Structure 1
Amino acid sequence: MSDMIATQTPRRSLRIHRDDNVCVALVDLPAGATLEEGGVTITLAEPVRRKHKFTLEALSTGDIVTMYGVTVGRATRPIPLGGAIGTGNVEHSTDSARDTTRRSGWQSPDVSAFADRTFEGYHRADGKVGTANYWLVVPLVFCENRNIEVLRECVRDALGDDPHRRYKRMARSLLSGEALPEMDDEAPTLERPFPNVDGVRFLTHSLGCGGTREDARALCQLLAGYICHPNVAGATVLSLGCQNAQASLLKEALAEHDPDGVRTVAFFEQQALGDEETLMRETLTAIFDGLRQADRVERQPAPLSKLVLGVECGGSDGFSGISANPLVGAVMDRLVTLGGSGMLSEFPELCGVEHELRSRCVSDETAERFRELMAAYQRHAESVGADFSMNPSPGNIRDGLITDAMKSAGAARKGGDSPIVDVLDYTEPVRQSGLSLLCTPGNDVESTTALAGSGANLILFTTGLGTPTGNPVVPVLKIASNSELATRMHDAIDFDAGPIVEGRAGIDELADELLTMCLDAASGRYRSCAVRLDQQDFIPWKRGVSL
């Protein structure tokens, strides 16, 4: 981190790594502005917007652009010293194919302040510890989505749990033309019939039939990961009966995740039960029986080694890689040092830094599995006419991330600096303490869905443009890369990393604060913005074709 950022005084620009030939504008800079970088005075050839980059040397056509110390692009035409770079003069390029040397060690952070800390979690019979306690209701096929929605409405009504009541009042007032009632932010205090349960979560999805058999198996593996998640006490499963994702496939997956059968899972097949009223009566009975069972478990102290941290970024901007992402990486390093586990996902957003990640793998086998999964993903993308270089969104580009390699170099910093102990394919559960890589798409919700399915019991999600993303069973903490976003979308952002950019705070200082928030969220003392907004995003990854 020593090359990353100076935090003592505010700056107008930042050279992230000593080998970089571009610099990040921290504020809007006019043409003709002069700046000092590395003892050299640079006069800007043109205006450079905040979050965008300008050159520290003149570049010829074909010259590489270096940022974070790695190749992030190539000049497509001459760019003068102090010239702004963008999609009009730079294209995606990487040096990911270069040979790597295994790193011999790493400098673990000082975690003495957390050495004796615990969190209050739900201890499960399989030895895992949850940061929440939910009952889960899931469909095996999209045909059951309507029934899932009916059950959601009925159960919430019965429990007095209506997170959208304020907006319903708003809608009634707007329709009637009457004065808008005062909009309270918090739910009224009601007696909770199951005080040790955080709620019932209802999943819907678009899979289960009409696709490949491999997609049906992957869906069942994902659902098994959710049903056997430490944040889940048990589940009610709805099946139509004739779909590809048969109940038997899910039962096989459950046996792999839960060989001792400690989870309570009730299956209901609509075609066998017949009429809808029978289906609803039996499933509602199973849900309420499950809630009574789940309520018997109370929060108890647990060591930090029982935390599994998933990290994700979405709506990234030109500051994400210098504030929010390295901040999350510092938290990851702290947790790993304390014996915990973590997962870095989004393989398309690791493009260009593969050699760095391979050098951190603890064995040749681990490094080779990462190489193979990345290569297979790239081949699959090419087979449908896509490429990793197409990853940046219009919002990313508008706010300074103009190539996939540039986006990836910043995104990878969420994984910190610790050794990589394992590489997991989609739906594989986390197997050991330390940092693992998890093969997922760059799609925010598909990736957070996968992180939870592989066992993350807490997710840190960085954003520079703003996103409300949450997860049905795992608390998701949103970290803003800049203070303007944290203020503007205050109801969706949990933590502000903007002071790092502004020079008002250092990464180490804020990492301790963010880790403390993680422990509060894991203990139920802090409700994340996504939980308060009832943001429950769930999208399985469809890798095959529709048939």
Structure 2
Amino acid sequence: MLQANTNFTGALLRLNDADNVLIAREALAIGQQVRVGETVVRLRAQIAAGHKVAARRIVRGEPIRKYNAIIGRAARDIEAGEHVHAHNIELIDFERDPGFGLDVRPVDYLPESERATFQGIVRPDGRVATRNFIGILASVNCSATVIKHIAAWFTPERLAAYPNVDGVVAFAQTSGCGMSSPSEHFDVLRRTLAGYARHPNLAGVLVVGLGCERNQVAGLLESQGLHTDKALHALVMQDTGGTRATIEAGIAAIQQMLPAANDIVRRPVSASHLKIGLECGGSDGFSGISANPALGAAMDLLVRHGGTAILSETPEIHGVEYMLTRRAVTPEVGQKLLDRLAWWERYTRGHNGQFNGVVGPGNQQGGLANIFEKSLGSAMKGGTTPLQAVYEYAEPIDRAGFVFMDSPGYDPVAVTGQIASGANLICFTTGRGSMFGSKPAPTLKLATNTPMFNRLAEDMDINCGLVVDGERSIDEMGQDIFEHILRAASGERTKSELLGLGDHEFVPWHMGIVS
């Protein structure tokens, strides 16, 4: 993991001695003279917090270095003190040595007796949950309204008799028909739905279909090895009697599940049962300085305690994939990651997507010039431990430690895949501010800077801006995050849960054509 060799004092931060750009710790005025070590830099532009400033004269074509990693090259001569951003950085691609396994280092795993614990819910089959919902899945968009009506019937007043049930949640989606089948898209949709149906945070599941869709309920269950029982019910609207009859039948089915779902007790379990999905959105120039490396430090702790950290968003490791392939436990694991990146290159060719270099407006406003610079910070969420495995989207994760799951960079799609793969808690870093939440696995949101944390205090859980403020080291912040994770996994409500988020963030990946 790249780490800054700075003490975070002063208005401009030098992240690595080899860097030719500095990072503005705060908004700076044109003409202002700022001391960096023995050097005084006179600013030639107004600089927003998190943005880059030329530390010296950079000639046209010279690589731009941040954390001593190349994020592009100078599109023209850049004078010391100039603003360095998308207007004067060219994105360049170049061959990188994957160096399979060169940076693998042994993990100092803690013995079971010394591992942290949290108050978890242990299912009869041994799976461990962090929340206790009943879920309703739609096999197709045509049953989405029905499942929403079924879930809405279970108001807090009607669930008052079942205090151990966190709620009844509808996972509506917009596909399931009008898609090619068989196809990769079809397989991904079924795998995602099955991942939710099996998720330990769901004490009971109801699957509702229309009847004539391509994603037939019976075929879905059979293809995924799912079987109806007391905790898994299925309804087909055309067989049940239509909209009203299906809503009534769905309510009755869930009423039958509630007593057993309520019959749970939280008890101490090892942190090795935690699977944490790692996400970032609305990033800024501080993401790779505070929240992302601090979350990486927390994931190193989690792995030492036997848990699993799931990095995703494949387009957002583009350009720094060697940071991960060098940590792959085998060449095959490293090659699988490169194969997924090659798939993405083909998939996005000819389209103005993030994989091809341009980041979103919020990222640019926050100080990130291109996808390489964003990727540099994004990859830090995964910490420093070996890359144990690479999974396709929504594929069940069966290896502990640090792993990668292929996904788009779009937040709700990536998190949906992580939860389907088994994540029972999400850690979401943001520099611009995210209002995201998820069910049945809760989301903790980590702010990269203190001003945004204070402005959006109702939405942010953890202020990693304390690193930039000089009040916490990366390791201290990582310990704080790890302890917050344990509390959230034990049932402490996250900010997004307190706001009622998560009912509309189930977004399976749409990969194919619609016909």
377 and 252 in structure 1: CA distance in 2 versus 1, 3 angstrom threshold: farther
Deviates further, 495-504 or 100-109 = 100-109
- The offset of 1:460, in angstroms, is 0.4
Instruction: Tell me the secondary structure at the aligned position of residue 64 of structure 2.
Output: strand
State how far apart, in whole Å, the 2-side matches of 1:107 and 1:64 are.
Answer: 33
Q: What is the match of residue 73 of structure 1?
A: 72
1:234 counterpart (204, 208, 222): 204
Instruction: Tell me the secondary structure at the aligned position of residue 266 of structure 1.
Output: strand
- The offset of 1:416, in angstroms, is 0.8
- The offset of 1:75, in angstroms, is 1.5
1:538 aligns with 2:506: yes
State how far apart, in whole Å, the 1-side matches of 2:19 and 2:187 are.
Answer: 45
In the TM superposition, 1:105-184 aligns within 5 A as 105-106=104-105, 115-156=114-155, 159=158
Q: What is the match of residue 58 of structure 2?
A: 59
Q: What is the match of residue 27 of structure 2?
A: 28
1:202 counterpart (170, 179, 182): 170
Q: TM-score, normalised by structure 1?
A: 0.88
Instruction: Tell me the secondary structure at the aligned position of residue 223 of structure 1.
Output: helix
Instruction: Tell me the secondary structure at the aligned position of residue 362 of structure 2.
Output: helix
- The offset of 1:468, in angstroms, is 1.1
State how far apart, in whole Å, the 2-side matches of 1:202 and 1:101 are.
Answer: 43
50 and 158 in structure 1: CA distance in 2 versus 1, 3 angstrom threshold: closer
After superposition, the C-alpha distances for 1:51-101 in whole angstroms (9 at most, x for unaligned) are 100122322222211112211112111111222112211122344633425
52 and 262 in structure 1: CA distance in 2 versus 1, 3 angstrom threshold: farther
Q: What letter corresponds to residue 203 of structure 2 in structure 1?
A: A
Q: What letter corresponds to residue 313 of structure 2 in structure 1?
A: E
- The offset of 1:484, in angstroms, is 1.0
State how far apart, in whole Å, the 1-side matches of 2:166 and 2:508 are.
Answer: 23
535 and 2 in structure 1: CA distance in 2 versus 1, 3 angstrom threshold: closer
Deviates further, 489-498 or 67-76 = 67-76
After superposition, the C-alpha distances for 1:183-218 in whole angstroms (9 at most, x for unaligned) are xxxxxxxxx311221111111111111122222321
Q: What letter corresponds to residue 231 of structure 2 in structure 1?
A: T
State how far apart, in whole Å, the 2-side matches of 1:273 and 1:301 are.
Answer: 43
- The offset of 1:10, in angstroms, is 3.0
Q: What letter corresponds to residue 366 of structure 1 in structure 2?
A: V
**For the Cα contact (< 8 Å) 2:98–2:326, is it kept in 1?**
no
Deviates further, 58-67 or 306-315 = 58-67
Q: What is the match of residue 244 of structure 1?
A: 214
**For the Cα contact (< 8 Å) 2:284–2:431, is it kept in 1?**
yes
After superposition, the C-alpha distances for 1:249-306 in whole angstroms (9 at most, x for unaligned) are 3213541xx6x98882111001112233321221111111112221122212110100
2:291 counterpart (303, 321, 324): 324
**For the Cα contact (< 8 Å) 2:275–2:423, is it kept in 1?**
yes
**For the Cα contact (< 8 Å) 1:224–1:253, is it kept in 2?**
no
Q: What is the match of residue 493 of structure 2?
A: 527
State how far apart, in whole Å, the 2-side matches of 1:263 and 1:78 are.
Answer: 70
Structure 2 residues without counterparts, runs of 5 or longer: none
**For the Cα contact (< 8 Å) 1:52–1:400, is it kept in 2?**
yes
270 and 453 in structure 1: CA distance in 2 versus 1, 3 angstrom threshold: same
Quote the RMSD (CA, aligned, Å): 2.3
State how far apart, in whole Å, the 2-side matches of 1:148 and 1:470 are.
Answer: 20
**For the Cα contact (< 8 Å) 2:104–2:326, is it kept in 1?**
no
Q: What is the match of residue 186 of structure 2?
A: 216
**For the Cα contact (< 8 Å) 2:209–2:235, is it kept in 1?**
yes
- The offset of 1:45, in angstroms, is 3.1
- The offset of 1:463, in angstroms, is 0.6
Q: What letter corresponds to residue 57 of structure 1 in structure 2?
A: R
2:473 counterpart (506, 513, 522): 506
**For the Cα contact (< 8 Å) 1:234–1:264, is it kept in 2?**
yes
Deviates further, 445-454 or 30-39 = 30-39
Instruction: Tell me the secondary structure at the aligned position of residue 444 of structure 2.
Output: strand
**For the Cα contact (< 8 Å) 2:354–2:371, is it kept in 1?**
no
Instruction: Tell me the secondary structure at the aligned position of residue 493 of structure 1.
Output: coil
3 and 515 in structure 1: CA distance in 2 versus 1, 3 angstrom threshold: closer
Q: What letter corresponds to residue 250 of structure 1 in structure 2?
A: L
Deviates further, 482-491 or 365-374 = 482-491
- Identity of matched residues, %: 33
In the TM superposition, 1:12-23 aligns within 5 A as 12-23=11-22
Instruction: Tell me the secondary structure at the aligned position of residue 423 of structure 1.
Output: strand
Instruction: Tell me the secondary structure at the aligned position of residue 105 of structure 2.
Output: coil
After superposition, the C-alpha distances for 1:328-359 in whole angstroms (9 at most, x for unaligned) are 11111100011111100001110111111100
**For the Cα contact (< 8 Å) 1:240–1:271, is it kept in 2?**
yes
In the TM superposition, 1:253-402 aligns within 5 A as 253-255=223-225, 264-382=231-349, 384=351, 386=353, 388-402=355-369
State how far apart, in whole Å, the 2-side matches of 1:360 and 1:94 are.
Answer: 22
Instruction: Tell me the secondary structure at the aligned position of residue 154 of structure 2.
Output: helix
283 and 3 in structure 1: CA distance in 2 versus 1, 3 angstrom threshold: closer
State how far apart, in whole Å, the 1-side matches of 2:223 and 2:459 are.
Answer: 35
**For the Cα contact (< 8 Å) 2:147–2:247, is it kept in 1?**
no
Q: What letter corresponds to residue 402 of structure 1 in structure 2?
A: A
Q: What letter corresponds to residue 155 of structure 2 in structure 1?
A: R
After superposition, the C-alpha distances for 1:378-402 in whole angstroms (9 at most, x for unaligned) are 1111155646134511111011011
**For the Cα contact (< 8 Å) 1:125–1:262, is it kept in 2?**
no
**For the Cα contact (< 8 Å) 1:10–1:504, is it kept in 2?**
no
State how far apart, in whole Å, the 2-side matches of 1:145 and 1:488 are.
Answer: 35
State how far apart, in whole Å, the 1-side matches of 2:313 and 2:177 are.
Answer: 26
36 and 95 in structure 1: CA distance in 2 versus 1, 3 angstrom threshold: farther
Instruction: Tell me the secondary structure at the aligned position of residue 84 of structure 2.
Output: coil
Q: What letter corresponds to residue 335 of structure 1 in structure 2?
A: L
Instruction: Tell me the secondary structure at the aligned position of residue 147 of structure 1.
Output: helix
Q: What letter corresponds to residue 219 of structure 1 in structure 2?
A: L
Q: TM-score, normalised by structure 2?
A: 0.94
State how far apart, in whole Å, the 1-side matches of 2:2 and 2:336 are.
Answer: 31
